[in-house]
């Protein structure tokens, strides 16, 4: 009897501990689902790109993949769409940088990525990458006007790209938020949830800008006092391109707003064309005390040596990999 009693006394706590561990496991699983998928539950399915070629005032739409479908969806709440505008151009770092930004955007719900390429013909590698991502996107061809491309000195890089994307938004949307996200920057995904609630124009700090390594509005007790930036340049809004977002509704109230072809004054000119005043500004990132975006720059790489075109590499994997490289022109043999 005494042995049976001791066995029962040891077995019951063991069962209780097993039951406790089981319920803790279930609670952790439920918690992880809530944290990982706050807006919807489901997965992307298939490849839904569809070729659409259409001329616009500031460029050409090559492909628009606007209706990505979801499977096993729990209906999401109505949260504003974020239109992320990314200017790009052909260079050795283009695909790696597009990949880095794309992987970030895949973690953000309700994003439509507008990739505006400074090119006359579509880049097959960019197109293929956007297709396989499985997220809503639009690929635009927005070449810089020749009068600026041939001009000596500083060039207004990315202006045609951004204006083309803004023009697309005007023609395809009536609500949401637009944000200029260059492909060589680094982004904490929290910046996208911050800007999603923008009512008119929001602003926030950007790191690694100029010699001061910071560009931000200056606030004291939550009130605007001025600007902190390494180059003021007589600008009304001395901010970085990644340091503000604009609601689509506010954009549509200013149909003539555009970005000027003035190197160094693109942000300032665009905001002034929107007739922005300090009263319109919403200061995000905990009253501009946190940095969620950095103006990082990728090391510029030289064009690849064309040695892999040598016949000795025929029928090897290099024949496939060369399609992903920008090669130096092969030297022309001198005439004897």
Kindly list the catalytic residues: 267
Alpha-carbon gap, residue 205 to 215, rounded angstroms: 6
- Between CA 246 and CA 231 the distance in angstroms is 23
DSSP annotation of 210 reads T
Cβ–Cβ < 8 Å for 300, 192 = no
- Identify the CA nearest to 91 among candidates 309, 303, 331, 312: 303
Q: Are 243 and 203 in contact (CB under 8 A)?
A: yes
- Rg over alpha carbons for the chain, rounded to the nearest Å, is 26
Q: What strands, in cross-sheet order, belong to the sheet with 82-88?
A: 51-56, 59-65, 137-141, 111-117, 82-88, 177-180, 244-247, 201-203, 281-283
């Amino acid at each position: 009897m005494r042995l049976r009693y001791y066995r029962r006394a040891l077995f019951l706590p063991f069962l209780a501990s097993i039951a406790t561990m089981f319920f803790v496991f279930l609670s952790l699983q439920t918690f992880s689902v809530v944290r990982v998928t706050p807006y919807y539950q489901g997965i992307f399915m298939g490849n839904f790109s569809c070729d659409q070629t259409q001329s616009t005032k500031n460029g050409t739409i090559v492909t628009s993949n606007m209706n990505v479908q979801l499977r096993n969806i729990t209906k999401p709440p109505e949260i504003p769409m974020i239109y992320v505008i990314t200017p790009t151009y052909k260079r050795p770092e283009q695909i790696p940088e597009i990949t880095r930004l794309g992987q970030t955007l895949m973690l953000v719900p309700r994003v439509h990525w507008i990739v505006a390429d400074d090119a006359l013909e579509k880049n097959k590698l960019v197109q293929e990458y956007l297709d396989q991502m499985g997220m809503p996107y639009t690929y635009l061809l927005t070449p810089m006007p020749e009068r600026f491309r041939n001009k000596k000195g500083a060039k207004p890089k990315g202006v045609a790209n951004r204006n083309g994307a803004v023009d697309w938004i005007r023609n395809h949307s009536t609500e949401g938020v637009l944000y200029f996200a260059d492909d060589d920057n680094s982004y904490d995904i929290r910046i996208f949830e911050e800007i999603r609630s923008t009512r008119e124009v929001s602003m926030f700090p950007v790191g690694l800008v100029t010699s001061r390594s910071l560009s931000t509005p200056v606030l004291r007790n939550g009130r605007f006092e001025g600007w902190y930036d390494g180059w003021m340049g007589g600008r009304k809004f001395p901010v970085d391109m990644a340091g503000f977002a604009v609601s689509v509704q506010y954009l549509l109230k200013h149909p003539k707003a555009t970005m000027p072809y003035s190197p160094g004054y693109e942000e300032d000119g665009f905001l002034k064309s929107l007739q922005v005043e300090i009263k319109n500004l919403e200061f995000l990132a905990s009253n501009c005390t946190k940095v969620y975006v950095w103006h990082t720059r990728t090391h510029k790489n030289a064009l690849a040596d064309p040695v892999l075109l040598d016949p000795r590499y025929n029928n090897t994997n290099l024949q496939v990999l060369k399609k992903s490289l920008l090669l130096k022109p092969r030297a022309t043999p001198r005439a004897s």
